[in-house]
Structure 1
């Protein structure tokens, strides 16, 4: 009996130890957004981005004056009775034009990034999944396109097709696609050998379903990081092209265009340049911090419980 009792105690002790060991090393899944917000730069980036985007989207509803109204007696004044931040070279209220000028930049940047993500992800996933000659040809063409600077390509295309909104979005989006395709291909190569992909192929699942249902959900981490980075570049490129006169045309209110219109009188009336410059800088800093947080959150998919 004592031997049986000792054996039972040993089994209980072993069971207790077995239950406690996993508990110490147990890990649990943490949602992606919580991993992003757990980082200081993620919180700061989100706050900055939300504030600037809210200002840009709600700005047109808060205009103290119409963006086209002019007061010729207050041309290029740093302060005027009609506005705290004065007027521009045509006597238009700087603050009103600033409030109305951000929405186009943000919408164009988001659309261009989305277009680049869709096209680039499809090309990269197909190249990795199909492989062989198709992969080699696609990626060599991709490398050729990557050799052309994005801004130079955009300048040439917009000069030929004209400074229209859809042209700006399409050109910026397509110049992002080769870089996104490279990331998508690399991420896809890391998962196409997994068992669930082989199981899907074994059951004769159509290739497009394998790409959408099995591959895409498992490469969203790297793609989300790239999306944040490309959004930052989109903002910079669109603002630069507007500054060069290849974006929205006068008399439209646009942050990049405002910088170009008011740069000559910078020493007399700085607000026409400073307000859009500060807004664009804060927006790019915020999206860049978020992109960095996405990268860190993707690298750590779980934490110790």
Structure 2
């Protein structure tokens, strides 16, 4: 059995700990002893290994239960963005109607130049809050870049020879431009997905800091950070633990992307 390289081991550790907390934490949290009567901003002690936060909640329980929404929202946003962006990018790359491709791309470029946080603030200002709106708008903000990457990778010079050969062999249009070209761009998209996951994670957490993300009663790492932002010196663990888990998840994802890129030779 081949031993893991140090960089791979570090990447798996950084990614694995937050993901383990996100998915297994809610199952472990109810098994922890309940400390009743604990006040706000209590230091670590018996029954409270990480103390309490500004609202009197056990920081350890928050760390174990606050990652599920972060991870699921990030994965849901990426899935929605790529489910729309990949077919659209492949179609724009394959179409012979260049005016239609140019018009579509320029329309998407309008979204590309919009400040992401400003869009979320406008959304909140119009009363459109909630997980569904946050997921859809965050995915929409990723769409222009994804379409550009798919078009660029699908139209690479090395790919054109293969497309001409398949066309001469009588392969159907959908198989050439959707299936086979989709496989060709998969490596590049995998690398992009890892980097984009960090961007989405940052945007989602920033939305919570601004009060336009998840409801304030949601047990979520980003929301917990926002609620304890003024308590760094009184209850540092309430801020540093969820922040450390978010940073570890982002850093681990980037390292894993680098390892995949090294193995596949894909570049963005």
TM range (shorter): 0.7 to 0.9
Matched, 1:90 2:47: no
Matched, 1:286 2:219: no
Matched, 1:50 2:19: no
TM-score by length of 1: 0.77
Offset at residue 161 of structure 1 (A): 4.9
Name the residue aligned to 1:77: 42
Name the residue aligned to 2:215: 249
- In structure 2, what is the Cα distance between the partners aligned to 1:242 and 1:258? 9
Name the residue aligned to 1:59: 25
Instruction: Judge conservation of contact 2:188–2:266 (CA < 8 Å) in 1.
Output: no
- In structure 1, what is the Cα distance between the partners aligned to 2:127 and 2:169? 48
Q: Which 10-residue stretch deviates more, 44-53 or 55-64? A: 44-53
Instruction: Judge conservation of contact 1:48–1:282 (CA < 8 Å) in 2.
Output: yes
Name the residue aligned to 1:142: 108
- In structure 1, what is the Cα distance between the partners aligned to 2:184 and 2:149? 13
Offset at residue 126 of structure 1 (A): 1.3
Offset at residue 246 of structure 1 (A): 2.1
Q: Which 10-residue stretch deviates more, 40-49 or 86-95? A: 40-49
Cα distance change, pair 188–300 in 1 and its aligned pair in 2 (3 A): closer
Offset at residue 49 of structure 1 (A): 0.9
- In structure 2, what is the Cα distance between the partners aligned to 1:40 and 1:262? 35
Matched, 1:194 2:153: no
Structure 2 unaligned spans of 5+: none
Instruction: Judge conservation of contact 1:256–1:276 (CA < 8 Å) in 2.
Output: yes
Name the residue aligned to 1:113: 78
Offset at residue 70 of structure 1 (A): 8.6
Name the residue aligned to 1:41: 7
- Superposition RMSD in Å: 2.7
